[in-house]
Structure 1
Amino acid sequence: MRLWFETALLPGGWADHVAIRLAPDGTIAAIDIGAPPAGSANLGAAIPGLANVHSHAFQRGMAGLAEFRGNPDDDFWSWREIMYRFLDRLDPNDVEAIAALAYIEMLESGFTRVGEFHYLHHQPDGTPYANLAELAERIAAAAEQTGIGLTLLPVAYRHAGFGRRPPERGHIRFLNDPARFARLFEASRHAIAALPDANIGVAPHSLRAVDHVELGDILTLAPAGPIHIHAAEQIREVEDCIAALGARPVAWLIDNLPVDERWCLIHATHLDPREIARLAASGAVAGLCPLTEANLGDGIFPMPAYLEAGGRFGIGTDSNIAIDAARELEMIEYAQRLTHRRRNLLATPDQPSTGTRLFAAALAGSARALGQPHPALEVGAPADIVALDMGSASLLGRRTDQLLDSWIFSGSRDAVHHVWRRGRHVVVARRHVARGSAEARYRKTMEKLLGR
């Protein structure tokens, strides 16, 4: 198959009149610069697909249900109670239907891979399914139906808080002792085995949900895969960690575990200056989820200082309150503008395009966090290609880096016109090819869950 683009972002920069030939195995077979259309449609501007570093797919179904004031002190912890009540209703069919729509929306917005931080394991009463990996298989099925690349991150969860606080009712669908979690992990590895280029990592939920002994056991399960953990999302979490362990969460992790490029610390919102420098130096990725962090009132990540120290970051959709790759990138910069009352804080003299710097950093960091090679439009790479419509209102007349700046800061989802995931044409004229059937399943699921 031959695709022709008016312009494309290649490893060496923007190039015009680019023909990309796809191999039968879904990789890029050839790239010709300065090529004539030769009967091929003009597909606009080609950029590599982004990886979504952190998703809880089932939460797409509750997006918008927590936007009312439940008490005078609404925060992350009160939101969490609503989330527990929602997930208490979900059966395997519901999980699959919600995940499929979430993955479709990710692809339609420019994500071509997802890191699924998968902690919903058991039946509503906490009893394991006969197939321990039942819900992991449903996540894999949603990925197969939609074509998105999958990095599955089975989550280990034991306790309600620091000091091995006993679990509460809302936790029972997450819980496993070490032996059962090891079996779950292996069953999850089998669940994704048939998916093209899927991989698996491990996710101790947080320092409050697993203790240091359990952490050591968990890490042995994926000796070469990615390691993800929530860290320092909430000020209360930081305070509780200091009280229990005598150190802040990120400092404790770096002091006590081999934190390196395999690690992704999700959120890492509340860092002191020494933690900023140490996290940057470790090679780990900060997994930022700006729209969710804003929705939950988490706080603002110290991005200028972190990038100055050489830190790496990826982006994720987390609670899936809104699924939009460009908006996640936009929010990173806008949060800094609101904090510092200046503009273009994340651009540099070497890279004055704010959108390009954000996109390039997130492209590299998200792939690293999911154990993937650096995404690029180059021969031999997976054909994960996002085509931006240069005829859309927000991109008219734009060239080179202006395309990324305009897509991120003034565009809308309709700027993403086509998407190929490992050579599979999954988004055609702004719409995923399976959207109709997925929406029908999702509608039935939500009517059942919400009693309408």
Structure 2
Amino acid sequence: MTHLWFETALLPTGWASDVAIDMVRGQIAAVTPGTAPSAGDERHALALPGLPNLHSHAFQRAFAGGTEVRGPTGDSFWTWREAMYRAVDRMDPEDVEAIAAQVYVEMLEAGYTRVGEFHYLHHDRDGSAYADIGELAQRIAAAAQQTGIALTLLPVFYAHGGFGAQAPNHGQRRFINDVNSFGRLIESARKAAAALPDAVVGIAPHSLRAATAEEIAAILPLAEGGPVHIHVAEQTKEVEDCIAWSGRRPVEHLLDNAPVDGRWCLIHATHMTGEETRRMAASGAVAGLCPITEANLGDGIFPAPDFVAAGGRYGVGSDSNVLIDVAGELRLLEYSQRLAHRARNVLAISEGKSTGGALFAAALEGGAQALGAPTPEAQALGTRAGLAIGAPADIVTLDINHPALAGRKGAAALDAWIFAAARPAVDCVWRRGDKLVVGGRHRARLPVEARFRAALGRIAS
């Protein structure tokens, strides 16, 4: 048993003082507020639950910051996508593993403790399958094992290059599977994930551009009750193309043709009508929001106030991993709403509520739901996420010596971290009770970073 003590901690019931947490075999065994520290306790000022990162493409970290030069005709998501294809052409399995490990180190240092890896880089450079079709999924699992992050692995079904089952283009050759080969991929991914503690495997039809309704129906049983993620309505061109093809908008088409429920996570869902927003909220699906990437790609702004008012749940993800920053995702989510609505504290929702607290709580609950995170023990106790008995001992502490946190406690400290900290404020991170981050640095950062640098050298050569 490991015994920790915190001056304040964010529990499922709210902020509490003088909190002792006992950890046994990677899980929280006891949470005792209002207790004095015992001799030998490890003591910290402020504890938060680790946050789920519900949407990541780890390999895209390899060209973060490398697409910021204007092209001849103006840039968009679609020109960025071509640059992504060119980067993918140069990656080998060793590179994929090295890049993912660097990404997961940075996530843990930022305060994420579980990642939803939306994994669609499957095949060799010429588009042929590896001897084991799940070779690259195994590399993702190996990176998670090296770094200690919890993994929800979401192998992606990608069959087409556009709406109406258009043929894929050359740049997509490493992504492509049919229903049968995707079944073999899922089988390999499950074997890889079996070696990891509390790993989850789901499925991810890439988008309505890349998978038909019939194919989505055919692969759904492979989820075996686990998460189902899909990109939808990220770009206005995507909406226009979907209407031209089907007469319906993407979210409308998905809700009309798939059994969308609480297992589903709709990534982006940026461009929706009011009716689509209400229908999506009513379905129970989580909105997977990636504000930093959405801003970087010029996607648009999610209709968050209307979605939340309709009872919708959301979480956040780092998507392209151009910048991995828990506080930055939450801050930009709120700031984008302030710019769109010319108001402040938009997502606090109710009077007297901390905006940072509302954002963090929503991202914690929505992310846990989207990633299938609750352990069987936690589910039996009615625990979904957070610092509660039966939950994984995934704990983050903040550095109270950070200037932005001076004199702040509880919700005020959380607001200060999200809105006022110009440099990282995460101090320590435990994952299943294992202390992986100390003083803001992952214990494996140096060797992981060395492999990452070597991989980028090979990719750039």
Counterpart amino acid of residue 234 in structure 2: E
- Which residues of structure 2 form unaligned runs of 5+? 375-383
Displacement of 1:412 in angstroms is 4.4
Which stretch shows the higher mean deviation, 3-12 or 120-129?
3-12
Alignment of 1:127-138 (within 5 A): 127-138=128-139
Displacement of 1:308 in angstroms is 1.0
Helix, strand or coil at the partner of 1:346: helix
Runs of 4+ in 1 over 6 A off after TM superposition: none
Counterpart amino acid of residue 278 in structure 1: R
Match of 2:29 in 1: 29
Aligned-pair Cα RMSD in Å = 1.1
CA distance in 2, matches of 1:225, 1:350: 37
Match of 1:158 in 2: 159
Alignment of 1:19-168 (within 5 A): 19-23=20-24, 25-37=25-37, 38-168=39-169
Which stretch shows the higher mean deviation, 349-358 or 100-109?
349-358
Displacement of 1:243 in angstroms is 1.2
Contact in 1 for aligned 2:364/2:386 (Cα 8 Å): no
Alignment of 1:12-411 (within 5 A): 12-23=13-24, 25-37=25-37, 38-349=39-350, 352-373=353-374, 374-411=384-421
Displacement of 1:10 in angstroms is 1.2
Contact in 2 for aligned 1:250/1:271 (Cα 8 Å): yes
CA distance in 1, matches of 2:355, 2:424: 21
CA distance in 1, matches of 2:30, 2:203: 35
Match of 2:438 in 1: 428
CA distance in 1, matches of 2:74, 2:447: 41
Displacement of 1:153 in angstroms is 0.3
Helix, strand or coil at the partner of 2:222: coil
Aligned length: 450
Counterpart amino acid of residue 400 in structure 1: G
Contact in 1 for aligned 2:205/2:230 (Cα 8 Å): yes
Q: Could you list the per-position Cα deviations for residues 147-200 of structure 1 after superposition, in whole angstroms to 9, with x for gaps in the alignment? A: 000000000011110122111110000001111111111111111111000010
CA distance in 1, matches of 2:109, 2:405: 17
Q: Could you list the per-position Cα deviations for residues 88-140 of structure 1 after superposition, in whole angstroms to 9, with x for gaps in the alignment? A: 10000000000000001001101000000000000010011111111000000
Contact in 2 for aligned 1:351/1:357 (Cα 8 Å): no
Counterpart amino acid of residue 63 in structure 2: M
Counterpart amino acid of residue 3 in structure 1: L
Helix, strand or coil at the partner of 2:424: helix
Counterpart amino acid of residue 436 in structure 2: V
Contact in 1 for aligned 2:290/2:329 (Cα 8 Å): yes
Displacement of 1:223 in angstroms is 3.1
Displacement of 1:350 in angstroms is 5.3
- Which residues of structure 1 form unaligned runs of 5+? none
Counterpart amino acid of residue 128 in structure 2: T
Counterpart amino acid of residue 78 in structure 1: T
Contact in 1 for aligned 2:213/2:258 (Cα 8 Å): no
Displacement of 1:72 in angstroms is 2.6
Helix, strand or coil at the partner of 2:277: helix
Displacement of 1:437 in angstroms is 0.6
What TM-score results when the alignment is normalised by the length of structure 2?
Answer: 0.96
Contact in 2 for aligned 1:155/1:204 (Cα 8 Å): yes
Q: Could you list the per-position Cα deviations for residues 420-447 of structure 1 after superposition, in whole angstroms to 9, with x for gaps in the alignment? A: 0111111011100100110111111111
Distance 1:187 1:279, change over 3 A: same
